[in-house]
Amino acid sequence: MTVLSWRTPAGLTALGWVALLGAVPACAAAPSAAACAEWVRRLPNVKADVCAHADLQATAGRSVLGRPLFMRDVVAPDANVRVLVVGAMHGDELSSTSLALHWIQRAVEVPANAHWRFIPALNPDGLMMRPAKRVNANGVDLNRNFPTPHWERDAKRYWEKRTRKDPRRWPGPKPLSEPESRFLHDEMARFQPDLIVSIHAPYGVLDFDGPGTPPPKLGRLYLDRVGIFPGSLGHYGGVHKGMPVVTIELPSALRTPLDAEMRQMWLDLLRWMGEHLPAPVAKPSPLVAPPTVAPSPALPDAPRSRSHPLG
C-alpha cells in the first residue's frame, strides 16, 4: 500500500515512508543493545565493541517513526565547560554517527575538564532508510527547521529561489515542526552548552558560527566559513543564541577518516577548547535525566542570514 499526500515536496507523509520501508523494526523501542546491532550493520568503521562501550541511553525523544533518540553523557570530575556533540542530523551522512561513537570513547579516556553530551544520531529514520536519506521521515531537512528570525519568510524564499525546491532541503511547514529538531532545540535550552559540535559530511571542511575565535583546523580539515542559512543550527545556535557552533564536514559520508586522523581531530579540538573556552560563569548543573520534547515557539530578531550550498 502506498500513502500519498501533498505534505512534503516528495508527496510522502510519515505513513507513506512506512508503506515504502515496511514497519519500523522492533528494536525501535528496544534498549541501546538492539540499536547497536542495527547500527553496526549500517555504519562504517563501527564494530560491536565500539557501540557497546558508548553505553548509549535512550532519551524521551523519539523520531517520526518512533525510534529512540540516544544520548551519552561523559563528565570529567572537574568539568567547567559543557559540550554538545550531534551526529547524523542528515541521515545519509553515516560517517558522522561513526565519528561521534568513536569520540565517546575518546571522551571517556580524556574528558578534558568538560561535561560532554553526545547525540550520535539525531535523524535515525533517515539513517536507517535504504538508501539512507538526508531528510527525516516527513521529508524535512532538520538543518533548515530551527526557529531562526523571520523563518516563515526567509526559509520558504531560500528553498524556492536558491535550491529550486530541492526536496532534500525542504525546511518543513513551520519551524520546529519535527520531533527531532524539537528534541535538539529543547536539549540546547536545558543543557546550555558552551560549545556545540555538529558533525556532517562530505565537503571536507571546518565551519564556525557564533562568538569567539574559531579553530583553524581539526586534523586535516581547515576552516572555511561558509555562511548561514535560514533554519540552520549554526544560524540558530551560533548567531542567534550565542552558543559557538563548530561544524565538521567530513570528507566522505560513507567512510570515516582513519583512526589516527579521528584521534588527531579530537586532540586538536581539545587544544582549541583549552585555549578559547575559559571556565564560564557557574551555571546550575543540568540533570542527566532524559529531556522532554514539548514544542517551543520561534524566537525573534537576529542578523540577516547569508547563503552557501553546503550544510
pLDDT tens-digit series, residues 133-167: 999 999 999 999 999 999 999 999 999 999 999 99
Q: Record the pTM.
A: 0.83
pLDDT tens-digit series, residues 4-62: 333 444 444 444 444 333 344 444 334 578 899 999 999 999 999 999 999 999 999 99
Which backbone phi and psi does 200 adopt, to 5 degrees? Answer: -135, -175
**The pLDDT of residue 283:** 53
**The pLDDT of residue 278:** 65
pLDDT tens-digit series, residues 182-228: 999 999 999 999 999 999 999 999 999 999 999 999 999 999 998 88
Nearest to 200 by CA among 85, 45, 50: 85
**The pLDDT of residue 310:** 59
Nearest to 136 by CA among 146, 122, 150: 122
pLDDT tens-digit series, residues 62-100: 999 999 999 999 999 999 999 999 999 999 999 999 999
CATH homologous superfamily, domain 28-276: Zn peptidases (3.40.630.10)
**The pLDDT of residue 26:** 40
pLDDT tens-digit series, residues 270-297: 999 999 996 544 455 555 444 443 343 3
Range of weakest confidence among 15-19, 235-239, 240-244: 15-19
pLDDT band at 262 (very low <50, low <70, confident <90, very high): very high
**The pLDDT of residue 32:** 79
The rounded mean pLDDT for the chain is 85
**How far is Cα 281 from Cα 273, in angstroms, rounded to an integer?**
16
pLDDT band at 304 (very low <50, low <70, confident <90, very high): very low
